[in-house]
Amino acid sequence: MEAFLTYRGRAALLDWSDVNTDLIIPARYLKRIERTGYGPLLFADKRYVPGGAPDPDHPESHGELASDFPLNASANQDATILIVGRNFGCGSSREHAVWAVAQAGYRAVIAPGKDDGFADIFEGNALNNGLLPIELPEADWETIATAVRTGPTEITIDLLRKRVTLHGNSDIEFAFDVPEGNRERILKGLDAIAETLLNDHAITRYEQSAPVWAGLSV
Amino acid sequence: MPSAPDTLFHKVWKRHVVTVTEDATLLYIDRHLVHEVTSPQAFEGLRLSGRKVRRPELTFATLDHNVPTENQLDIREPMSKRQVEALRTNAKEFGVTLYDMGSGRQGIVHVIGPELGLTLPGLTIVCGDSHTSTHGAFGSLAFGIGTSEVEHVLATQTLWQGKTPKALGIEVKGKLPAGLEPKDIILAVIRAIGTGGATGHVLEYYGPAISAMSMEGRMTVCNMSIEAGARAGLIAPDDTTIQYITATKRPFAPTGAALESALADWKLLQTDDPSAFDRIVTIDASSLVPQVTWGTNPAMTVDVTGRIPEPDQVPFTSREDARRSLEYMGLTPGTPISEIPIDIVFIGSCTNGRIEDLRSAAQVFRGRKVAAGVRALIVPGSEPVREQAIAEGLDRVFTEAGAEWRQAGCSMCLAMNPDKLTPGQRSASTSNRNFEGRQGPGGRTHLVSAAMAAAAAVTGKFTDVRTLLSQGV
Ligand code: SF4
């Protein structure tokens, strides 16, 4: 996982609610056994003209981009921060959805809401991959979305201070929250398993106390 | 001083706490179920870091998503084959039990867990699959995880959880009318609270309609908890639960003294008082009619007696999002549901691929024929379900009606195997997601119960199954 301290980039807006992970990456692309190569598959059924989505066997070859898909607009080509509608990432638990968003070049996703901006599993998967899922109150989100609708917009995400800055004539700052453990890990790019194994004695103690029928240890 | 009432969910959660930090809890995981799609990168991660599976005896794998259902052994798609082979290799290398095709136990991961006796009250169960919520029907805390978490559980048998979910009580009052199924209840629940209505929550279903329900039905209800955004769904164990676990021989269910101690323990697994829930939603089962989804998420649901809504009358959805749904589905507001013709019927999946679902479909198919121009696929959820259906003669009912009787797998629930809709085709499906492209790119999915799917098969459109059942044959 790449360490993340502060990051400044261009924002793109996909103003749809309830975007599910089947839409983010269709199931036929989940046959790969690698962790990489998902970038071109992001939103495959929306991003390319009908029939132009990559072949699962040859994901590198694809057809023309669909002109009506918001993220294909030329202004969005070098965007690295994705602004999305509520309940983003609902549906399937496939981490491939997060890999696709991250490997398409996005470093953070910003949704409106309070605990309901992202679906729970997507949010966890994103944190585990250093793709920052940021929830902002509806009004703050709207301020950013309006700016993006109006013209090219740059945003800075400061994970140390937990602040999003919208750059414009004058900068506007918004606070966001992220679980402390995740923040720590993302800031330092740490391996979650190695961290957990520091609790090995506690895990072993737990195992010794489990009832026989729960542990299948007979 | 009496302690404050607690919920079933919190009780199960608390017994699995290994350690806590300022804002996270490390939970112990009792059962880890694995399938071929979300595990290869996790095993690869272990390999790269030289790690082992901590508790291989608590980890169980099966093949389901890629499995062809016409002839399981004939996997023609090279990518599917590679993924299946990868799980075989990984299971062997890491010492994990794999229920392979032809083992007599293979099937959809959420169907086989309960069949094997792996799913038991009070346990924590995870799988790299969002419908792990199915197992909550036994009063276990069961939820879906991503591949990084699969690797974490393989290596440590634990999982970090951020904010403790809230408990949302779903009270289902009344008696479910004849012809209606647990699927209608859960569709009505999602319709009432929305696809994000339970985000950050664990649902607990209770009330007379739940108590009267079989384990199969309870699994259908808990299965779709995720479609309301819930982390998990649970139902407190009762005599029906114990009967399911003990009346049939299940290889991993406790017996003898272990069972005695388990039974004493399971009695404690109840919500003390509904006041312990953070919130309660009440549904009256007796007033329900069969449910049919019309749109591209499971909350876009109407009664079979209803019509396609106007885009500005869709709850939880903006006018623009509703308009895009209608356009994708090729539907016009005001059209009666009962006038929508269908092309394909899919009966199966971890939502409705169990024996009771096949029985209820057979009841409709018996003595009738699949309508001209319609294709009906019946896909049992597991090899044991298939065997049981054959023993009851249900396979003959299906084939005599002109439906296709298949082998076990996920099949047309998500179209990773050859069973897919082609663009523009419309299905009546017993699965759980009507997302765009879920059953094949451009496919249009309507979610219904098994009985309603069978009714659609024999009439070629959405038909209130109650009218067929009352006619008899
Ligand atoms: S049947 Fe469908 S929902 Fe269930 S595990 Fe298989 S693909 Fe997932």
Q: Is A125 on the interface with B (CB under 8 A)?
A: yes
Contact B436 A45 (CB under 8 A): yes
Give me ligand 1 centre to Cα A14, in Å. Answer: 28
Look at residue B394 in the predicted model and tell me its pLDDT. 98
Cβ(B439) – ligand 1 distance below 6 Å: no
- B303: Cα separation from own chain's centroid: 21
Query: Which residues of chain A make contact with B251, given a CB cutoff of 8 A?
Result: none
Average pLDDT rounded to a whole number, residues B199-221 = 98
In a domain, A132, yes or no: yes
Residues in chain B: 473
Query: Which residues of chain B make contact with A180, given a CB cutoff of 8 A?
Result: 21-24
Give me ligand 1 centre to Cα B28, in Å. Answer: 25
Choose the weakest-confidence range: A81-90, B18-27, B363-372: B18-27
Which ligand 1 atom sits nearest the alpha carbon of residue B353? 1
Average pLDDT rounded to a whole number, residues A31-35 = 95
Give me ligand 1 centre to Cα B214, in Å. Answer: 21
Q: Is A58 on the interface with B (CB under 8 A)?
A: no
pLDDT surpassing 80 at residue A218 = no
Contact B261 A22 (CB under 8 A): no
| Backbone dihedral region for residue A51 (phi beyond 0: left; psi -120 to 50: alpha; all else: beta) | left
The span from the CA of B145 to the CA of B234, in Å, is 17
In a domain, A28, yes or no: yes
Look at residue B37 in the predicted model and tell me its pLDDT. 97
pLDDT surpassing 80 at residue B373 = yes
The span from the CA of B343 to the CA of B364, in Å, is 18
- Spatial CA neighbour of B252 closest among A122, A116, A213: A213
Tell me how close the Cα of B344 comes to any Cα of chain A, in angstroms.
20
Percent of chain A with pLDDT over 90: 83
Most A CBs within 10 Å, among B23, B52, B148, to test the A interface: B148
Choose the weakest-confidence range: A56-60, A62-66, B382-386: A56-60
pLDDT surpassing 80 at residue B53 = yes
Look at residue B25 in the predicted model and tell me its pLDDT. 95
User: pLDDT tens for residues B103-117?
Assistant: 999 999 999 999 999
Give me ligand 1 centre to Cα B134, in Å. Answer: 11
Q: Residue B195 corresponds to which amino acid?
A: T
Contact A203 B40 (CB under 8 A): no
Query: Which residues of chain B make contact with A129, given a CB cutoff of 8 A?
Result: 148
pLDDT band at B465 (very low <50, low <70, confident <90, very high): very high
User: pLDDT tens for residues B305-363?
Assistant: 999 999 999 999 999 999 999 999 999 999 999 999 999 999 999 999 999 999 999 99
Contact B41 A35 (CB under 8 A): yes
pLDDT surpassing 80 at residue A57 = no
In a domain, A126, yes or no: yes
Cβ(B176) – ligand 1 distance below 6 Å: no
Structural domain boundaries enclosing A100: 6-192
DSSP calls for B111-143: HHHHHHT---TT-EEEESSGGGGGGGGGT-EEE
CA dihedral B175, B180, B184, B189 (to 10 degrees): -10
Do residues B327 and B417 lie in contact, with contact meaning Cβ atoms separated by under 8 Å?
no
Kindly report the average pLDDT of chain B as a whole number.
97
Do residues A124 and B146 lie in contact, with contact meaning Cβ atoms separated by under 8 Å?
yes
In a domain, A1, yes or no: no
pLDDT surpassing 70 at residue B383 = yes
Tell me how close the Cα of A211 comes to any Cα of chain B, in angstroms.
8
The span from the CA of B90 to the CA of B147, in Å, is 15
In a domain, A200, yes or no: no
Location of structure tokens 């740490």? A190
User: pLDDT tens for residues B241-286?
Assistant: 999 999 999 999 999 999 999 999 999 999 999 999 999 999 999 9
Look at residue B2 in the predicted model and tell me its pLDDT. 65
Task: State the pTM of this model.
Answer: 0.96
Look at residue B39 in the predicted model and tell me its pLDDT. 98
In a domain, A203, yes or no: no
Q: The complex's ipTM?
A: 0.94
Cβ(B42) – ligand 1 distance below 6 Å: no
Residue B265, token pair as written in the block: 């323990």
Average pLDDT rounded to a whole number, residues A189-213 = 92
Contact A181 B21 (CB under 8 A): yes
The Cβ-side half-sphere exposure at B149, using a 13 Å CA radius, reads 32
CATH label of the domain that carries residue A141: 3.20.19.10
Contact A196 B160 (CB under 8 A): yes
Average pLDDT rounded to a whole number, residues B230-242 = 98
How far CA B242 is from CA of B114, B132, B215, in Å, comes to 12, 20, 10
Cβ(B64) – ligand 1 distance below 6 Å: yes
Look at residue B149 in the predicted model and tell me its pLDDT. 98
In a domain, A165, yes or no: yes
The span from the CA of A137 to the CA of B92, in Å, is 49
Average pLDDT rounded to a whole number, residues A4-9 = 91
Residues in chain A: 218
Look at residue B83 in the predicted model and tell me its pLDDT. 97
Choose among A18, A50, A57: nearest Cβ to B195: A18
In a domain, A201, yes or no: no
Counted domains in chain A: 1
